[in-house]
Amino acid sequence: MLRILVGPNGCGKSEYLNRLAGYNTHINTTSGLEKIKEVEIIVDYAVENGSSIYIDNVDTFVDIQKIEKLCDMLIAASEKVDVWVSTHNVLLLNYLENDQAIESVFLVKNGNLYPYFIERVKEKLYLMGPGEAYSDTDLDLWWEEI
């Protein structure tokens, strides 16, 4: 199963992933090509060994033209192992089918996970797609609804 953690800076995505994994899940690279290669190595290893994958800010430094490759890799891996990633990039969400987004996208607050696509946001999802529905939602109002 694929789980994508979203939310503003400081909401606790990194801390949640690190706690779940038991180690620092951030990949320190400055090149998008390096990041793609490192993610590929992690994915291959995890799939071969049946291990879960945890990557913080999975798309940081990745060229926008390589996001599709990254998403395809994560989605394929999620059919075999659990994949947990965090992102600040709504483009990553747009590679998910609507039903997959409903199951996969979570907001983090105070160390807790909340399914992002609540009923009001689902209505937008079917009109706009996952990334745009996320971008078009006022998080302050969202918190009031849950």
Residue 130, domain CATH: 3.40.50
pLDDT greater than 90 at residue 29? no
Q: What is the dihedral of CA 17, 1, 137, 122, to 10 degrees?
A: -160
pLDDT greater than 90 at residue 139? no
For the residues 65-69, what does the mean pLDDT come to? 89
Q: For the chain, what is the domain count?
A: 1
Q: What is the dihedral of CA 68, 39, 53, 26, to 10 degrees?
A: -110
pLDDT greater than 70 at residue 105? yes
Count Cβ neighbours within 10 Å for each residue of 20-32 and write b for 16 or more, e otherwise. beeeebebebeeb
pLDDT greater than 90 at residue 99? yes
Model confidence, pTM: 0.88
Q: What is the pLDDT of residue 12?
A: 86
Nearest in space to 96 (alpha carbons), one of 114, 70, 123, 60: 70
For the residues 33-40, what does the mean pLDDT come to? 85
Residues in the chain: 146
pLDDT greater than 80 at residue 110? yes
- Domain of residue 60: give its range: 2-145
Q: What is the pLDDT of residue 79?
A: 96
Query: Per-residue pLDDT tens for 82-98?
Result: 999 999 888 899 999 99
Mean pLDDT across the chain, nearest whole number? 89
